[in-house]
């Protein structure tokens, strides 16, 4: 998994700006963050924040941000971006450092008002690893602080795997691993791999059993996950319709009926005062 991000650092850095890939996710997540995050200058840990896209977004809004990731290549991209940003925003980035979501021992207890974790939970493939990451998130957040994390449901990944590989997706066991184990692995260099896929019904328990209260669960691409190329074309053809469609997508992103077919789910959870078990 680390090798994947090392090899695809530049591509990953641009993902959220690509109209037919990450642009809808960017728009809906930005709205959720604006609505849910505490006011600046709150301290935020962008845990697994890769190339620093959200770190810079937060810094521009006056938040004090610490960026961590497992990939040195992604962190190098982030450092370059931060160095190129206007100084009045760059100074809000307090640190950029390599770290594992399961081990945030570099940070004291109750260090942050909020934590973004927009990736690690769909790469932690064992129950013990996910539990450790939840415990660490709980520890470094102040009571009442927010954990905003993403998880990945299985079905979009299943369909995309079959569309790419055809019958081989069944004969090699890839489909069975997704359905039965919640695992997606691709040994080819530079391909997304090491994915853990979570059914929507299991998301709340992962956090609420360990010291959090889930406040919101949103489809990261809303109702638009399966039509992003068409939505990108609409943005060019009819910008007003595009903005209005995004409004609808965000307003309905909490509808459980669409969660299972979303590419990602965004979890907004509040740290309770009890210790995570």
The residue with greater pLDDT, 233 or 192, is 233
- The band of 2, judged by pLDDT with boundaries at 50, 70 and 90, is low
- The predicted pLDDT at position 209 comes to 94
Looking at the structure, tell me whether residues 166 and 147 fall in a common domain: no
213 domain residue, yes or no: yes
172 domain residue, yes or no: yes
Domain that holds residue 265: 2-153+198-271
Q: Are 74 and 8 in contact (CB under 8 A)?
A: no
What are 116's two structure tokens? 């973004």
Looking at the structure, tell me whether residues 107 and 69 fall in a common domain: yes
Note the pLDDT tens digit of each residue in 42-57. 999 999 999 999 999 9
- The predicted pLDDT at position 19 comes to 85
For residue 277, pLDDT beyond 70: no
Q: Are 187 and 4 in contact (CB under 8 A)?
A: no
- The predicted pLDDT at position 4 comes to 59
What is the percentage of the chain residues whose pLDDT exceeds 90? 84
Mean pLDDT (whole number) for 87-115 = 97
Looking at the structure, tell me whether residues 114 and 74 fall in a common domain: yes
For residue 109, pLDDT beyond 90: yes
Looking at the structure, tell me whether residues 211 and 189 fall in a common domain: no
Looking at 196, 225, 259, which one is the last position of a domain?
196
36 domain residue, yes or no: yes
Looking at the structure, tell me whether residues 69 and 143 fall in a common domain: yes
Looking at the structure, tell me whether residues 171 and 42 fall in a common domain: no
69 domain residue, yes or no: yes
Looking at the structure, tell me whether residues 233 and 160 fall in a common domain: no
Distance CA 103, CA 107 (A): 9
- The predicted pLDDT at position 17 comes to 84
For residue 224, pLDDT beyond 70: yes
Mean pLDDT (whole number) for 95-104 = 97
276 domain residue, yes or no: no
- The predicted pLDDT at position 94 comes to 98
Q: How many domains does the chain have?
A: 2
Note the pLDDT tens digit of each residue in 154-183. 999 999 999 999 999 999 999 999 999 999
For residue 227, pLDDT beyond 90: yes
- The band of 134, judged by pLDDT with boundaries at 50, 70 and 90, is very high
The residue with greater pLDDT, 20 or 257, is 257
Looking at the structure, tell me whether residues 172 and 80 fall in a common domain: no
Burial 94-114 (b: 16+ CB within 10 A, else e): eebeebbbbebeebeeebbbb
Looking at the structure, tell me whether residues 142 and 159 fall in a common domain: no
Looking at the structure, tell me whether residues 142 and 26 fall in a common domain: yes
Mean pLDDT (whole number) for 22-35 = 96
171 domain residue, yes or no: yes
Tokens 């954990």: give the residue.
Answer: 147
Predicted TM-score of the model (pTM): 0.93
Q: In the chain, where does DSSP find H-type helix?
A: 2-7, 9-13, 23-36, 53-60, 72-84, 87-90, 127-140, 155-165, 168-171, 174-176, 200-208, 228-237, 239-251
Angle, alpha carbons 269-151-178 (nearest 5°): 150
- The predicted pLDDT at position 189 comes to 74
176 domain residue, yes or no: yes
Looking at the structure, tell me whether residues 55 and 83 fall in a common domain: yes
Looking at the structure, tell me whether residues 249 and 169 fall in a common domain: no
- The predicted pLDDT at position 20 comes to 82
277 domain residue, yes or no: no
Distance CA 114, CA 146 (A): 5
Q: What is the CATH number of the domain that holds 131?
A: 3.40.50.150
Burial 11-42 (b: 16+ CB within 10 A, else e): ebbebbeeeebbbbbbbbbebbbeebbeebeb
126, with CB counted inside 10 A (0-12, 13-18, 19+), is exposed
For residue 118, pLDDT beyond 80: yes
């Amino acid at each position: 998994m680390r090798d994947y991000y090392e090899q695809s650092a530049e591509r990953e850095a641009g993902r959220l700006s690509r109209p037919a890939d990450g642009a809808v996710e960017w728009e809906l997540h930005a709205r959720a963050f604006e609505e849910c995050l505490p006011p600046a200058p709150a301290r935020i840990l962008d845990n697994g924040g890769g190339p620093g896209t959200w770190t810079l977004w937060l810094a521009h809004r006056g938040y004090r941000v610490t960026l961590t990731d497992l990939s040195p290549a992604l962190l190098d991209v982030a450092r370059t971006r931060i160095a190129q940003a206007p100084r009045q925003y760059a100074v809000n980035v307090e640190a950029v450092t390599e770290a594992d979501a399961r081990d945030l021992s570099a940070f004291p207890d109750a260090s942050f008002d909020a934590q973004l974790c927009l990736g690690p939970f769909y790469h932690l493939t064992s129950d013990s690893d996910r539990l450790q990451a939840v415990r660490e998130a709980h520890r470094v957040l102040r009571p009442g602080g927010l954990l905003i994390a993403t998880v990945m449901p299985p079905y979009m990944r299943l369909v995309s795997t079959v569309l790419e590989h055809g019958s081989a997706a069944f004969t090699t066991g890839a489909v069975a691993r997704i359905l039965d184990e919640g695992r997606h692995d691709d040994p080819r260099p530079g391909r997304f791999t090491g994915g853990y896929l979570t059914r929507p019904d299991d998301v709340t328990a992962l956090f609420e059993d360990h010291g959090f209260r889930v406040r919101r669960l949103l489809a990261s691409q809303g109702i638009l996950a399966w039509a992003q190329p068409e939505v990108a074309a609409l943005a060019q053809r009819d910008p007003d319709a595009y903005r209005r469609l995004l409004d609808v997508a965000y307003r309905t992103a909490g509808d459980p009926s669409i969660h299972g077919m979303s590419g990602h789910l965004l979890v907004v959870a509040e740290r309770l005062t009890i210790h995570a078990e």
